[in-house]
A = this chain, B = another copy of it.
Amino acid sequence: MESIEIDVVADPDLDDPVFVEGLPGVGHVGKLAAEYLLEEFDSELVRRVYTDEFPPQVNIDDEGVASLTCAEFHAVDVGEEDLLVLTGDHQAQSNDGHYHLTDAFLDIAEEFGATRAYALGGVPTGELIEEYTVLGAVTDSALVDDLEEAGVEFREDEPAGGVVGVSGLVLGLGARRGFDATCLMGETSGYLVDPKSARAVLEILEEVVGFELNYESLEERAEEMEEVVGKIQEMQQQQEAVPTGDDLRYIG
């Protein structure tokens, strides 16, 4: 396998599509938001990206069938606009891998004619959130006014450490290629998967790109997630009760 391998699954003609990145990160906000777009709208898988930068891992589906971990691009028809949505289960596992992989993602976005990009993510506050604010960062100050009108906040010196990972590089490397790129970061505690923060981010995207979403099933998901979290916590507490002392030491 090459370091990065791209499977061409379909090659539809898209009209100046909006590139939307939603890989895993803080609170899985970007991933939840991007996956919700695929669920709610008609979408077509167009590219699979395999790379030795992802963990050496296969996912197993409900029938027991394994598939090599990858990132996927879907073309999503939201009405007036086409979206080109990037989702997946992993970010790169090395420092330079983040750069190479983001470059490959931007190559694909360019190939479909995209010139605008939205990197979706979360920003950790360390506290439980009551009002879900979305912070912004852009590649060009001309983008700020429209975003502020849509409700995005721009705060001096926030996020404190800049933006890291693929979302940061969609802006950093995107700017060097001429993309108008925006990072939308939903505030989230940082302790839990956060569908409510994902909704806050999607509401901004609706407004600035121009489409309409029904949040019913995301609300259900938020409720389900809260149940799942409760169950996992229960299981963890039970597991912690298993003896792991000298009697069971691993002899490799």
Q: Chain A interface (Cβ within 8 Å of chain B)?
A: 1, 3, 24, 28, 50, 52-53, 55-60, 62-69, 92-96, 98-100, 102-103, 126-128, 136-141, 144, 154, 156-159, 161-166, 168-169, 171-173, 175-176, 181, 183, 189-193, 228-229, 232-233, 236-237, 239, 242, 244, 246, 248-252
A selection of 30 A-B contacts at a CB cut-off of 8 Å is A1-B100, A1-B173, A52-B96, A53-B95, A55-B95, A55-B164, A56-B102, A56-B164, A56-B166, A57-B162, A58-B137, A58-B171, A64-B137, A64-B138, A64-B141, A64-B144, A66-B139, A66-B162, A66-B168, A66-B175, A67-B175, A68-B171, A68-B172, A68-B176, A69-B162, A69-B172, A93-B95, A191-B249, A228-B251, A233-B246
Given contacts A65-B137, A65-B139, A244-B191, A53 and B96 within 8 Å (CB-CB): yes
Decide if A193 touches B252 in the complex (CB within 8 Å): yes
Q: Are B168 and A1 in contact (CB under 8 A)?
A: no
Docked CA distance A195–B52 (Å): 32
A52 touches B95 (CB 8 A): yes
* A193, closest chain B residue (CB): B251
Smallest distance from the beta carbon of A226 to chain B beta carbons, Å?
10
The answer for the CA separation of A214 and B185 in the assembled complex, in Å, is: 42
A175 to B58, CA, bound (A): 11
Which of chain B's residues have a CB closer than 8 A to the CB of A189? 248
The secondary structure that dominates the A interface is mixed
Give the distance in Å from the alpha carbon of A68 to the alpha carbon of B176 in the complex: 9
Q: Which of B1, B99, B102, B168 contacts A99 (CB 8 A)?
A: B1
The 4 A-B residue pairs with the shortest CB-CB distance in the complex, in nearest-first order: A68-B172, A56-B98, A52-B96, A52-B99
Question: Are A60 and B173 also in contact (CB < 8 A) when A137-B65, A248-B189 are?
Answer: no
**Whole-angstrom CA separation of A22 from B45 in the bound complex:** 35
Q: A139 CA to B61 CA in the complex, in Å?
A: 10
- Contact status A246-B237, CB under 8 Å: yes
A136 and B64 in contact (CB under 8 A), knowing A58-B171, A96-B52, A232-B251? Answer: yes
